[in-house]
Structures are given as structure tokens and as C-alpha cells.
Amino acid sequence: MTRQEFDLGNSKKGSFAFSSFRIKLPQILANVAANLLVLDLCMAIAFTTVLIAATLDAKEDLSINENQASWLGSIAFICQPIGSLISGLIVEFFGRKWSMILVNIPFLAGWLLYCFSTSITTLFTANIILGMGIGFMEAPIMTYLGETCQPHLRALITSFPGITCQISVFVVFLMGNITDWRTAAGMNAALPIITVLYTLMMPETPIWLLSRGRYEDAEKALCWLRGWVTPDVVSEEFNQLVMYSNAVNKTNFPVTTVGPVTSRTQEGRSPRITEGYENKGFELDSTATGDVQQSKATMSDYQSELRDDDNSAHCSLDRWKEMLKPQTLRPLGIVNPCFFLLHWGGLSSIKPYLVHVLQNFGLGEAASWTTVGSGVTSVAGGVCLFVLVHWVGKRKLSLVALAGSAACCLVITIYSYIVLRPGGATDQAVPWVPLTMVVMLAFFNSLFFYIPWNWLSEIFPFRTRGISSGFSAAMCYVFLFAASKTYLDMEQNLQIYGSFLIFTAINVLGFFFVYWRVPDTEGKTLVEIEAYFSR
């Protein structure tokens, strides 16, 4: 097993060697909590596909018409921005950990309402509650992921929720074929309870604890996250964290950037001295050998810039002013267009009505099980993202996903124009062609699905990370609502070929947007990324 050193520079204590597995394990365990939330989130989104397929013009139990189906498949998405905007504020007040615990309350309520619903109104109520819960959980998930892992692990750890999401979609589609929708909802109600119990055992993020002046707790959390080590082992990284917190929150906790760094002096504690150093993004990149400096920007650069601001860093007005600065606006101009591309690229629009669309392609009763096949390829896409992102990078994978999605939508456009349009050559129908393209579209969509969320966790500056993440998550679901709500109308007015022609054009435009506008952030610390967007 490989071993890894926490280098304490010229400290007389020397170096501490620990196995790479020991260093990575607590970060993985902490982020399992976030993945449990992702599991619940994506199950709620995918459940509408099962629910609509089971209740649309149903002969027994609850039954909905096509107009009600279009609202049931989309109304949760317009409620999610409300939860997202609130979550951006709540995550700053309660912290990342407790926000991740609180979001389970609406999920438990929503699943139970689905399970015991007696009317269409109850179905919509459950959908709205789950929609707000989905929006509420986005900011806590992504900020927790970004603030608990080291730079060299961030790409892998923040990509794993992509696999989790696609697995949850597959499980929901499978449950929809082997059991009824009420039983599926009742089984899903157990997940929020499991998530709460697990998250209670996890630490809060050190950077949030420092922003609240809880230095002892922040040190304990960092020791936990770096392998259950003693404070001496993480002293350098903790001092980096303190300097970063001092700069962004304008506190006066005693730290310097030149010469010895006095860690802290608190009642009942002795000061500890370690060597001065450049800031590496408050996370020690332990993959480096010897020299771990990757950024030319030191914290003194940020401190001198931030001293020009007003001293009320925690004031809500000050936070909103930060939203108008380039280091926030430029990331917003990347993340939000990518969310638009994600949801208007084809699959998100048709997912609530996937069984209906596949039946239009002539698949008949096999359409329901075909959704399970699309779930399998979605898992494959998530696995590819997880495996390749560290070596290929998110930007290149985005280009591949958008190009592949454009090709799939173009083939469906051509096929639908030739075969499915009024007066088309229906005798030449070959259902496996659109079936293959839909399955491949699911693969490319899942390959791109979690990349904008990865960017959301790392490219916003700390002082606006909660608000910016909440706003971007809100916009994500505005786009998703518009895409899913309008699809049936698009299909009716433009036919299937016209709808997929629009999806093709959007994917092509998205390819060029990512190529020209999106930087590569792989291996960069959070401070380096913030410095890039501050230019």
C-alpha cells in the first residue's frame, strides 16, 4: 500500500507518514452522506416517470389526463428554485452538515404522501413538497463535497454522485416494473431516515466552522477528515485554512504569511508555531512532492484586496455586493448556461414522458422495460465520468458528451421526419433505430449530467458560495421545468422531428460554448480557481 507524507516544512517535528488509504477513507466516508442525499434527490426526479406511466389514463386507482401529466411531470421543477434560493441562505446559517440533515424532512413527508395518496391533489402536493426538498438540498451537497476533500481527490469525489444519481434512476425504473408505484414510494421513505442517522456521525466542514469562530471544532473536523490524526499532523493545512478564513471573512485571528505562523492562543491551550508558506487553497495537495506550491497568488494578495472593502463581511448586504464582482459573475456565466444545455439537450425534456415517447416510436408494451435499459446505460455513463474525469478532465468530457448528444438527436430527427411525420414512410419503420439513439442519448446525458454540479462545487468564491450555489441550482430547475413542461406542446406543434431538431441545435451551440468559454479546473486548488476568475 502506498504511503503519503504530510510535510511540515522545516518543523522540528519532521514528517508524518500515513497510508494513502487512511488519508482518503474519511473523506470518502464523509461524502457518502452527500451521496445518500443525491440518491434521494434523483429517485424523486425519476419517480415522476413511473408515476405518469402508471396513472396516465389508468383504468384503476388514481387516473390523470395528458394535461395533468404535463403538470405532474414539471411542477416539482418550478418549486425547486424556491428551495434552492432558501438553501443558499440556510446553508450559511445552519452549516453544511445540519442543512444536509434538515432537508430530509420534506423528503420523508413527500414519499409518505405519495404512498398514502387518495386523490390527484395529494399527488400534486407530494410532488411540490419533494420539488422544494430537491432544491433545498443542492447547495448543502455541493458545498460539503467541495469543502471536505483535498484538491487531488475533488474531481473523483465530486464525480461519484453522478454514478449515484444514475443508479437511483435505474432502481426507480426497475421498481416501477416489478411493483406498483405506491409500494415503491413507501420503500423510498426509508432513505431519508437512513441519511439522517448516517450524517449525524459526520463532521462539519472546517472552513464553515472557522467562519463562525469555532477554531477548536474546525481543528477536530480537519483531523477527522485527514485520517483521524493528531493536530500536529494537520497544523500546516489548518494554518492555511485559518489564513483563508481570515481573508474572506475579515477576522483578526492571529496568523501571518511571512515567517513563523502563530496558530492560536486560546484559554487552556498553548500557542503552536509552524513555518510560513503560500496558501494552496486551504487544502494541502499531498500528491505533490517537495514543493506543493501550485499558485503564484498568496493570501496576502487576497488580504490586501479585501481590506479595501467594508469591514462588515458577515452583513447580508455585503454578501450580495460580492455577487456583483467578477469572481462570482464569471462562474455564474459558465455554470448557468451549462445547466441550460443539460436540460435542453434532449433527455431531460422527454424523461417524464419517456414511456409515451418510446411508444410513439412503435415499441408498444416493451417501452416500459426500455426505460430500465436506458437506466443501465445511464449508470455506464456515470461510471465513465467517475473513471475518466481525473485523467481526461471535465471540459473534454463535456465536449464528448455534447457532440454525442447532438449526433443522437440528429439521427432521431432524420428518422422521425422520414417515418413518423404525417404521410411519412411508416412501412419502413425500424423501431430499434430510435431505441438505440434514446439509449445512447441517456449515456451521453449521464456523462455530462453531473459536470455542471462539479463546477458549482469548486468555482465560486467562499464568501458567495452558498448564495451562488443556491441561485445556480434554482436556475437549473427553472430550465428543467421549462424543458419538461413544454415538451408535449412542442411535440404536438412541431412533431417529434421538429422537437429533436431544436435539441440538436442546442447541443451543437453548447459544444462551441464549452470549447471557447469553459476553463479546465482539474488539479487546481479553490484559491487558484478563485484567482483565475478574479482577473
- Burial classification of residue 94, based on how many CB atoms lie within 10 Å of its CB (0-12 exposed, 13-18 middle, 19 or more buried): middle
In a domain, 273, yes or no: no
CA 276 to chain centre: 35
Q: CA 189, CA 40: separation in Å to the nearest integer?
A: 9
Q: CA 24, CA 16: separation in Å to the nearest integer?
A: 15
Q: CA 309, CA 298: separation in Å to the nearest integer?
A: 18
List pLDDT tens digits, range 461-488.
877 777 787 788 778 878 988 888 888 8
Q: Which residues form the domain of 184?
A: 15-205+326-533
List pLDDT tens digits, range 492-528.
888 888 999 999 999 999 999 999 988 877 767 767 7
In a domain, 298, yes or no: no
- Of 204, 71, 65, 516, whose CA–CA distance to 334 is shortest? 516
- Of 442, 435, 459, whose CA–CA distance to 531 is shortest? 459
In a domain, 223, yes or no: no
- Of 174, 103, 162, 114, whose CA–CA distance to 136 is shortest? 103
Q: CA 260, CA 273: separation in Å to the nearest integer?
A: 6
Q: CA 22, CA 19: separation in Å to the nearest integer?
A: 5
In a domain, 459, yes or no: yes
In a domain, 517, yes or no: yes
In a domain, 38, yes or no: yes
CA 205 to chain centre: 17
Mean pLDDT of 391-407: 91
Mean pLDDT of 269-284: 35
Q: Band the pLDDT of 250: cuts 50, 70, 90.
A: low
Q: CA 93, CA 143: separation in Å to the nearest integer?
A: 13
- pTM confidence score: 0.65
Burial 336-369 (b: 16+ CB within 10 A, else e): bbbbbbbbbbbbbbbbbbbbbbbbebbbeeebbe
Output the pLDDT for position 329. 87
pLDDT: which is higher, 174 or 297:
174
In a domain, 314, yes or no: no
Q: Band the pLDDT of 249: cuts 50, 70, 90.
A: low
**In the Cβ-directed half-sphere of 144, how many Cα atoms lie within 13 Å?**
33
Q: Band the pLDDT of 260: cuts 50, 70, 90.
A: very low
List pLDDT tens digits, range 11-54.
334 455 667 888 889 999 998 998 999 898 889 888 988 898 88
List pLDDT tens digits, range 86-124.
777 788 888 889 999 998 999 999 999 999 998 999 999
For position 88, which CATH number holds?
1.20.1250.20
Question: How many residues are present in the chain?
Answer: 535
Q: How many domains does the chain have?
A: 1
In a domain, 267, yes or no: no
Output the pLDDT for position 336. 92
Q: 278: how many CB neighbours lie within 10 A of its CB?
A: 19
Mean pLDDT of 302-315: 43
